[in-house]
A = this chain, B = another copy of it.
Amino acid sequence: MARIVMKFGGTSMAGIERIRSVAERVRREVDDGNQVAVVVSAMAGETDRLIQFCREAASLYDPREYDVVVASGEQVTSGLLAIMLQSMGVAARSWMGWQLPIMTSDAHSTARISGIDAKAIDTAISGGEVAVIPGFQGMSAGGRLATLGRGGSDTSAVAVAAAMKADRCDIYTDVDGVYTTDPRIVPRARKLSRVTYEEMLELASVGAKVLQTRSVGLAMKKGVRVRVLSSFDDGRDEGGHRGTLIVGDEEIGESDMEEQLITGIAHDKNEAKVTLTSVPDKPGAVASIFTPLAAAEINVDMIVQNFARDTGNTDVTFTVPAADLARSIDVLEREKPSIGFRELSHDTNVCKISVVGVGMRSHAGVAATMFQTLADRGINILAIATSEIKISVLIEEDYTELAVRVLHTAYGLDADEEAA
């Protein structure tokens, strides 16, 4: 017997027949003797429909009222799943966020979960009843409905799993796990049976959108074992595993880590490169660039500074999310007098390629392999950033697929056969 949280996304909840399949999956876990809580998303498309209503109602809307409107989508699916489970003879009831409660911060529409009172869930599931909980929402300190922002249902599921001390949090989605890289680019990409929280965080933050980054961070902090698996496919890998388990380093074990140098290769085309030329090379010059960007809540990622000591000037290159490029340019042009650069150039035809793996900690030469492999193919590196378990390079967007493919081979990640 185990305590399990099962989370189903919008595609899995899209319509009565899919909710019936979800209910059947839940019943199987109950029949296996497990105590189960289910966290559900709204039907695919429903949250967009509700957001659209708010936008049509007013261009600037009160996020507290927006939350009232959009929280209704998960309310509907939680009630429907409870009805469906009962019709299959499985004891079940829905628990709204305000009924438990799931407490959140007051940052309506992007609230953070501050605490969950799991007593009611605990009593229910201990008595054999399935607890169905609408994801993405809770109640703010002021007693109002609050939502967590897009993808927040993953975070809800992990938070519920932590509060009820679940043995595992299964995130059902439309892919069957986390891959070494995007299988659309590399047909020989392999599904990973295990990955560490940190690797998952790095992969998620560079474009492998299987799980919301926040939910992985919370899982790491609370030590919740998360599994990502498919709602639509029951297949198991050669090792007999379904999906990908996301766990702490300690569960992976030394031997695994040593044999697996690199876990995966991610790419992210949603970056834009900005270059400021002839910035005065004096104390505070770099701060004069990045302080106003930070004030505008623009996340600067990779930074390269080309010193040109003879002129006393320097070129500064960095990346920002492509969606924030226009705002970034506005901010920088406004600050031009105080920064003192000569020209601003920008480029969105770039891609960030990252190799990720905890094995990197105990192995030298990972970066050298990367640079050499790309150089062999004539791929120019525009910027480099590194962390303890990740090396990222910025390249021209046209080389994305080539770079991912050659690196996947260079690090020995290719499977024997193509993925289905």
| Chain A residues proximal to chain B, CB less than 8 Å | 16, 19-20, 50, 53-54, 56-62, 64-69, 71-73, 75-76, 78-80, 82-84, 86-87, 93-94, 96, 98-99, 143-145
Interchain nearest-CB distance for A183 vs B (Å)? 35
Option from B53, B71, B84, B144 in Cβ contact (under 8 Å) with A57? B84
A20 — nearest CB in chain B belongs to which residue?
B57
Max count, chain B CB within 10 A of own CB: residue among A20, A68, A144: A68
- CB atoms of B69 and A79 under 8 A apart: yes
Majority DSSP secondary structure for residues of A touching B: helix
Interchain nearest-CB distance for A373 vs B (Å)? 53
- CB atoms of B53 and A80 under 8 A apart: yes
- CB atoms of A83 and B57 under 8 A apart: yes
- CB atoms of A64 and B93 under 8 A apart: yes
Q: For residue A71, which residues in chain B have a CB less than 8 angstroms away from its CB?
A: 75
- CB atoms of A61 and B75 under 8 A apart: no
- CB atoms of A84 and B69 under 8 A apart: no
Interchain nearest-CB distance for A315 vs B (Å)? 46
CA distance A80 to B80 in the complex (A): 24
CA distance A20 to B57 in the complex (A): 8
- CB atoms of B69 and A50 under 8 A apart: no
Q: For residue A75, which residues in chain B have a CB less than 8 angstroms away from its CB?
A: 68-69, 71-72, 75
- CB atoms of B87 and A58 under 8 A apart: yes
Interchain nearest-CB distance for A130 vs B (Å)? 12
- CB atoms of A86 and B62 under 8 A apart: yes
- CB atoms of B83 and A78 under 8 A apart: no
Q: For residue A143, which residues in chain B have a CB less than 8 angstroms away from its CB?
A: 99
- CB atoms of A96 and B82 under 8 A apart: no
- CB atoms of A86 and B61 under 8 A apart: yes
Interchain nearest-CB distance for A143 vs B (Å)? 6
A61 — nearest CB in chain B belongs to which residue?
B83
Q: List 28 A-B contacts (CB under 8 A).
A: A16-B53, A19-B57, A20-B57, A53-B76, A53-B80, A54-B79, A54-B80, A57-B84, A58-B84, A58-B87, A59-B87, A60-B87, A61-B83, A62-B86, A65-B79, A65-B83, A65-B86, A66-B83, A68-B78, A68-B79, A68-B96, A69-B76, A69-B80, A71-B75, A72-B73, A72-B75, A96-B145, A99-B143
Max count, chain B CB within 10 A of own CB: residue among A20, A78, A83: A83
Q: For residue A67, which residues in chain B have a CB less than 8 angstroms away from its CB?
A: 79
- CB atoms of A76 and B50 under 8 A apart: yes
| Chain A to chain B: the 8 pairs with minimum beta-carbon distance, closest first | A68-B79, A58-B87, A69-B79, A72-B72, A16-B56, A65-B82, A57-B83, A65-B79
Option from B65, B78, B80, B96 in Cβ contact (under 8 Å) with A93? B65
CA distance A106 to B404 in the complex (A): 60
Q: For residue A69, which residues in chain B have a CB less than 8 angstroms away from its CB?
A: 75-76, 79-80, 83
Known A58-B86, A86-B61, A99-B143; contact A66-B53, beta-carbon cutoff 8 A: no
Interchain nearest-CB distance for A205 vs B (Å)? 33
- CB atoms of B76 and A72 under 8 A apart: yes
